[in-house]
Amino acid sequence: MEAGSAETEQPLEMEVEEEEVAPIYKEPPKIKLLEESVVNRIAAGEVVQRPVSAVKELVENSLDADSTSISVVVKDGGLKLIQVSDDGHGIRYEDLPILCERHTTSKLSHFEDLQTIQSMGFRGEALASMTYVGHVTVTTIMKGQLHGYRATYRDGVMEQEPKPCAAVKGTQIMVENLFYNMIARRKTLQNSADDYPKIVDLLSRFAIHHINVSFSCRKHGAARADVHSVATSSRLDAIRSVYGVSVARNLIKIEAFDDESSSSVFKMEGFISNSNYIGKKITMVLFINNRLVECGALKRAVEIVYSATLPKASKPFIYMSIILPSEHVDVNVHPTKREVSLLHQEIIIEKIQSAVESRLRNSNECRTFQEQTVDASTSSFLATQKDSPKNPTPPSSQTPKSEKVPVHKMVRIDSLDPAGRLHAYLQATPSSQADKSSLASIRSAIRQRRNPRETADLTSVQELVNIIDSNYHSGLLDTIRNCTYIGMADEVFALIQHNTHLYLANVVNLSKELMYQQVLRRFAHFNAIQLSDPAPLADLLMLALKEEDLDAEGEENYDLKEKIAEMNIQLLKQKAEMLQEYFGIHIDTNGNLSRLPVILDQYTPDMDRVPEFVLCLGNDVDWDDEKICFQTIAAALGNFYAMHPPLLPNPSGEGLQFYKRRVSSNCHQAGRGSSKDADDAAVESEYDDELLADAENAWAHREWSIQHILFPSMRLFFKPLTSMASNGTFVRVASLEKLYKIFERC
Ligand code: ADP
Ligand code: MG
């Protein structure tokens, strides 16, 4: 059998070969006009993509018909039945025959009308499309008529003469067996979760915008409606009745507008959630010129503001209604009109973004106090913020270490110094104690918020802020707002791209200035970073002083340092109340530092720099003149919180030398020459692995912070100093166009 079949195949193969040698001439396929029904069905599939899109079209028609009450009934996720009833103006008897033909509409006559069109519909396609993919029945009665009419439609055509019937005012449109003739789509829809939740979501959105219309939505046969709103004059009431009290009570009103016709003209009104609202995902209900639309760019812009200012509430609820001159909106960019395109979109988004930002910043009345805790149980101080797991996770917090680091491993600079810099003060405290202290801090912060010292003090801060806001470099501002972060070029410079230019940006200078500006902007409104164990100022100051002159030893010198430390402690204790109220730096009555301010959300400074900071507060601050005092404290904080290279040398370069074990190298010497194998084994454990891991963590975390905190925050808040264009903070290194020319020649 097998041999036989092989034989019969042979000539066939030869034929194929022959064909390859001399290809037969093939005529191009003939082009013909598609039958109208095929065209319509293809188009229908696009307009009515799924049941929820049909519901949207029907509800929009009802709104266009000036209805005050719209109710929706759905069976089988909309596949079996969608029924939308309204009390609108109804449809004329004589229009019924062409009602469901493609491109029949009562809303548009000339293309130019599109510029000023107010209605949601204008394409005259929705009803027609539905008749190509489902069975449509329309019942309608106009005001003053004794009875209504009912007509059924298929493939754009009215099936019989409309039948007189009893009806209540308005129109009821029923779509049955959606996609009955599109097997693949129906199957896909049947297999996936049904559209009912999407329909409920859609109606909820309509209900909070069109508050003068009452909406209801329920499953066929269900007694209770899943959306039920009554006409009201209060938007907040509407939101409460649709989205619930938990949403409504955490909302703040927001407004923004621009009336400069030279740039953009718009007005935005809405509600946005505050820091108490914790959602699983962002809800953005957006209406532009009363059309329910989506705008990815605006949504992302708002999301960025939330994650930068309220990281714990970074999935907000947003309702916004934007009104623009209708000639600035192109409504005809999407078949289902889901998206629109706006003139001056970037400017509008930017204005809304800053309105959201300042609203969140100033909404103290409904903010609860947020606190970040420095937890000693992790080896890196930076890996302590456990909030918002959905945010990109800093690399170091992916590998938290629970075991305590031995004291000698905590040493950063001098391994013989038992104090081990600040780490020695950050032993884990029993949780009850920690709870108590954080509770106290929350209380005091709340008190502070209720009772801010709104005195003349603020004018001096306002003046400092004004200096920042009026003297920035607009070119650099544009670069920072629109640049792409590429990566760190070395320990200090980041490589960024703006348009076709590459720049090196000094992240230490930039972060220092950003922190300074933020301190002044958040003045007296800081959240707290809680040290798990208060650090005595005396020890901090001694550490810092020792570091200042490492070689000067001796009793006398030590006494002198103690004196300086003591003077500084007295001074800082005196200023403690002011430091606490205005800057969130808490020094308790025993002279311990227990809290630091949150200057950028999600960011904790390098705690190795605390001693230097405390000394700087004592030595460098001018306490006499109010304005200079605030300025110098802000500068000291700026320097402390700046994203300096970590004190541990970077292990990825020459810094690796630093992590060689000194003790084990002595052992090598003892055993030298005796056995080469033993030497090799010693080489393997030549490095202090734990310290090395710490260093790797610290460097990785810094880079993470630069990319995910510094640059996004700068985009939002930063006003670059004019001097930064010339002092080496920004250096233009290449123009991509020129590079391209060079590479082209290669
Ligand atoms: P469009 O809304 O783009 O005009 P549609 O196919 O959605 O196109 O509707 C066609 C026409 O049918 C509308 O222009 C309107 O005159 C009429 N119509 C549809 N639904 C209703 C309704 N619920 N009440 C009154 N008229 C309606
Ligand atoms: Mg329509």
pLDDT tens for residues 659-669?
A: 887 654 444 44
Residue 106 near ligand 1, beta carbon < 6 Å: yes
How many angstroms separate the alpha carbon of residue 737 from the centre of ligand 1?
Answer: 53
Residue 302 near ligand 1, beta carbon < 6 Å: no
Pocket test for ligand 1, best of 105, 120, 143, 158 (most atoms within 8 A of CB): 105
- Per-residue confidence (pLDDT) for residue 38, from 0 to 100: 80
- Per-residue confidence (pLDDT) for residue 551, from 0 to 100: 56
- Helix 576-583 crosses helix 626-641 at what angle (to 10 degrees)? 70
pLDDT averaged over every residue in the chain: 79
How many angstroms separate the alpha carbon of residue 154 from the centre of ligand 1?
Answer: 16
Nearest residue CA, atom 7 of ligand 1?
A: 126
When mean pLDDT is compared across 331-340, 383-392, 628-637, 719-728, the lowest value belongs to: 383-392
How many angstroms separate the alpha carbon of residue 194 from the centre of ligand 2?
Answer: 23
681 has pLDDT over 60 = no
Q: Which residue has the higher pLDDT, 458 or 542?
A: 542
How many angstroms separate the alpha carbon of residue 221 from the centre of ligand 1?
Answer: 27
Residue 107 near ligand 1, beta carbon < 6 Å: yes
- The band of 191, judged by pLDDT with boundaries at 50, 70 and 90, is confident
- Per-residue confidence (pLDDT) for residue 504, from 0 to 100: 92
- Per-residue confidence (pLDDT) for residue 453, from 0 to 100: 41
Residue 573 near ligand 1, beta carbon < 6 Å: no
- The band of 559, judged by pLDDT with boundaries at 50, 70 and 90, is confident
Pocket test for ligand 1, best of 47, 64, 136 (most atoms within 8 A of CB): 64
487 has pLDDT over 50 = yes
Residue 156 near ligand 1, beta carbon < 6 Å: no
Total-model pTM? 0.53
Give ∠ CA 645-637-309 in degrees, rounded to 5: 90
Q: What is the mean pLDDT of residues 8-26?
A: 51
Residue 87 near ligand 1, beta carbon < 6 Å: no
360 has pLDDT over 60 = yes
Q: If you average pLDDT over each of 284-288, 298-302, 342-346, 463-467, which comes out highest? A: 284-288
Closest by CA to 72, choosing from 339, 423, 64, 60, is: 60
- Is 129 buried (19+), middle (13-18) or exposed (0-12) by CB count in 10 A? buried
Strand runs labelled E in 100-213: 135-141, 148-154, 157-158, 163-165, 170-176
How many angstroms separate the alpha carbon of residue 617 from the centre of ligand 2?
Answer: 67
Residue 62 near ligand 1, beta carbon < 6 Å: yes
Residue 123 near ligand 1, beta carbon < 6 Å: yes
pLDDT digits (tens, 9 = 90+) for 44-73: 777 788 999 999 999 999 999 999 999 999
389 has pLDDT over 60 = no
Residue 86 near ligand 1, beta carbon < 6 Å: yes
Closest by CA to 185, choosing from 333, 85, 54, 37, is: 54
Residue 105 near ligand 1, beta carbon < 6 Å: yes
Q: What is the separation of C-alpha 696 from the centre of its chain, rounded to a whole number of angstroms?
A: 28
Nearest residue CA, atom 18 of ligand 1?
A: 61
- Per-residue confidence (pLDDT) for residue 335, from 0 to 100: 61
- Is 489 buried (19+), middle (13-18) or exposed (0-12) by CB count in 10 A? middle
Residue 605 near ligand 1, beta carbon < 6 Å: no
| One-letter amino acid of 430 | P
Q: What is the mean pLDDT of residues 739-746?
A: 59
